[in-house]
Structure 1
């Protein structure tokens, strides 16, 4: 299972699953698969009654967000974001990567009635972006890798906040309060994992996590936020151990299953001019908006702080980061489902736009990152040649 932890493998599985879902949806198997996706799957004796698709996007995806939250906490504690100085530059770039795509989407959809889909192109799929970087970016300096990692992590924070604030419908304060109690109980139990009763504590933590997720779902807050909250409050060291155990499940099962489910979309038999405004807004905003926003934000951030402490990030490096940021996939697909939950035809077009926009970003990122890696390889070879000449002299 260790190979599934690889960023390259995770990106490959996600891409294959999404492509398979889209292809099968447009064959004779499509109607049956979509009917299965929409089938109700209730838990007897509880108010939980979700479709198979929502069990995947609301239930299983909460595990992915738990892993993301654990990574965020670790980065803020001992990682690349443990000081304000380290966080401010990628934070400005991440902010640019949210604002510019949102503005482009709003400009394209102005007056259409679909302006509420603006969050869709603001997200970056951290696993996929890092996978593309791992495949094509061998030899890229660590400072650029660190910048892209921090950028992607901060982008996830923004996505989590957007989901929590803009996709919460008629919140039930009682259930929210009870879910908060569950989060506190989970945090306290995690402190006992080092005791002799750790097996019992682990069982209790699983039970508390399930109850907390259920209460969050019933409260009207998107259920994946429960995964975020639990990941943030769990004691860091056991949380990192659990993240390590869950990562193969997330990369090998949860994310591909979600990508497959989200991509089960029948391609509309219409001319391009008949496609709804959100399709064009997402298709343009993801690859173009992210590229411009992140590059511009990264350039502006280069003027912050003492000159001798500023990271040397070239325009080519910033363009690579911007292109990678346009790979929306998982979180963009989730936001698309949430934004157009009551408009399935528009949601289907939005899914196609996310897949196409992300694919364009993958191609652009592969080209830019490959050229950047080749440039640094040439520099290393020239440096080695110069050192040999000096040694020979």
Structure 2
């Protein structure tokens, strides 16, 4: 199955932006641990916006909840395109990332709980559940044509389902209060978007404006606002024609470059801003650090591949085209890059315990680095050269 034009363009962009992303991580870590670290953190904490509309947030929130909603919009568009006419158009292919994501959430949470049940850290069971979609896609894209397109699509779909699962976990278990009026308004806007799709409205402006309101209502409901990007993406109309450019394809084309070369690097700069201290190192050897590292590095690998194996064994799904189980193992490792969402859950889990937050951040960073390195090396060694057009 050939990769759609815009998904191919997205991954080609990510291949180059992946190097930029890694450089931004290094730069951010250097800044955080230099004399300008405090000033950079003050900048990220500085509130900007329009207070009269309750839209005054720190810069970091605008990046993680605002810019990343655009990233999720683009990836959601790509996934919808593949569901309509591409690699995910059959039930067996489309179901595998769902089963894999479920396993990739359950097993890490169980591993963390085994280490930490009955301790002061037990509330952090959600930390190793999340896959950082931006970094995992950037790493696999750096391998270029070594990797079959079906594996790239599988990872993208897996990461989206995984992140949606993490958002639901945050909403149910880590959100202090759900504002039901805003949530109902969000549901109303979502319904409106799909009604527009049903009546074949093709002007993008009629989707973008309600999409902005959807983001606003979701953000104020207490649910992570990046889910608005995915909901909006699945409402944008498309077609199976090779000659007529659909609204979905137009939006993909518009967003591809700014997402790869602007939004993702900004995201990396803001979220790798971790200041190292002596207490962090000790956190790797306590049950918190062991639960996070084992949950992300081993739990993701075991959960994703175990549930994938069972789904294929019971003929509910099929292995991605042109792929091997060794490549699935590599993907399972890459999914252990928890990073931003894991750090976010860590902050929610230990709201007032700064030292525990720091220990959790360092453990997440170490686990994510190990997962990225192992995943990259396994995929590089196990994958032959592909020449898919």
Normalised by the shorter chain, which TM-score bucket?
Answer: 0.7 to 0.9
**Aligned residue among 196, 207, 218 for 1:216:** 218
**Aligned residue among 236, 257, 268 for 1:259:** 268
Question: Quick check: 1:82 aligned with 2:74?
Answer: no
Question: Quick check: 1:245 aligned with 2:217?
Answer: no
CA RMSD of superposed structures (Å) = 3.3
Tell me: CA distance 1:44–1:268, structure 2 relative to 1, closer, same or farther (3 Å): same
Question: Quick check: 1:34 aligned with 2:41?
Answer: yes
Higher mean displacement: 214-223 or 161-170: 161-170
> Over residues 339-375 of structure 1, what are the superposed CA-to-partner deviations in whole Å (9 max), with x where a residue is unaligned?
44554443333333222211111211222122212xx
**Aligned residue among 281, 286, 304 for 1:294:** 304
**Aligned residue among 116, 123, 134 for 1:116:** 123
Q: Distance in 2 between matches of 1:90 and 1:269?
A: 39
Aligned to 1:12: 19
Q: Secondary structure at the match of 2:53?
A: coil
**Shift of residue 25 of structure 1?**
0.7
Question: Quick check: 1:366 aligned with 2:376?
Answer: yes
Question: Quick check: 1:65 aligned with 2:65?
Answer: no
Q: Distance in 2 between matches of 1:74 and 1:86?
A: 14
> Over residues 9-47 of structure 1, what are the superposed CA-to-partner deviations in whole Å (9 max), with x where a residue is unaligned?
232222222222122111100111111211222414222
Question: Quick check: 1:183 aligned with 2:190?
Answer: yes
Q: Distance in 1 between matches of 2:110 and 2:333?
A: 18
TM-score (ref. length: structure 1):
0.80
**Shift of residue 165 of structure 1?**
3.6
TM-score (ref. length: structure 2):
0.81
Question: Quick check: 1:104 aligned with 2:114?
Answer: no
Q: Distance in 2 between matches of 1:143 and 1:230?
A: 24
Aligned to 1:383: none
Aligned to 2:50: 43
Tell me: CA distance 1:295–1:41, structure 2 relative to 1, closer, same or farther (3 Å): same
**Aligned residue among 343, 367, 377 for 1:357:** 367
> Over residues 116-167 of structure 1, what are the superposed CA-to-partner deviations in whole Å (9 max), with x where a residue is unaligned?
3323322223443343334346444556555545544543443344344444
Question: Quick check: 1:21 aligned with 2:28?
Answer: yes
Q: Tell me, which stretches of 5 or more residues in structure 1 are unaligned?
A: 381-393
Q: Distance in 1 between matches of 2:51 and 2:298?
A: 47
* Aligned residues of 2:312 and 2:318 also touching (Cα < 8 A): no
Aligned to 2:328: 318
**Shift of residue 338 of structure 1?**
4.3
Q: Distance in 2 between matches of 1:124 and 1:55?
A: 21
- Matches for 1:142-153 after TM superposition, within 5 Å: 144-145=151-152, 147-153=154-160
Q: Distance in 2 between matches of 1:3 and 1:65?
A: 13
* Aligned residues of 1:41 and 1:50 also touching (Cα < 8 A): yes
Question: Quick check: 1:231 aligned with 2:233?
Answer: yes
- Matches for 1:131-150 after TM superposition, within 5 Å: 131-136=138-143, 138-141=145-148, 144-145=151-152, 147-150=154-157
Tell me: CA distance 1:180–1:303, structure 2 relative to 1, closer, same or farther (3 Å): closer
Q: Distance in 2 between matches of 1:266 and 1:99?
A: 30
Tell me: CA distance 1:222–1:278, structure 2 relative to 1, closer, same or farther (3 Å): same
* Aligned residues of 2:146 and 2:380 also touching (Cα < 8 A): no
* Aligned residues of 2:164 and 2:227 also touching (Cα < 8 A): no
* Aligned residues of 2:95 and 2:316 also touching (Cα < 8 A): no
Tell me: CA distance 1:259–1:120, structure 2 relative to 1, closer, same or farther (3 Å): farther
Q: Secondary structure at the match of 2:57?
A: strand
Tell me: CA distance 1:87–1:210, structure 2 relative to 1, closer, same or farther (3 Å): closer
Q: Secondary structure at the match of 1:45?
A: helix
Higher mean displacement: 269-278 or 85-94: 269-278
* Aligned residues of 2:333 and 2:371 also touching (Cα < 8 A): yes
Q: Tell me, which stretches of 5 or more residues in structure 2 are unaligned?
A: 1-8, 239-245
Tell me: CA distance 1:187–1:147, structure 2 relative to 1, closer, same or farther (3 Å): closer
Q: Distance in 2 between matches of 1:73 and 1:137?
A: 22
Q: Secondary structure at the match of 2:278?
A: coil
Q: Distance in 1 between matches of 2:316 and 2:247?
A: 38
Question: Quick check: 1:285 aligned with 2:295?
Answer: yes
Q: Secondary structure at the match of 1:363?
A: helix
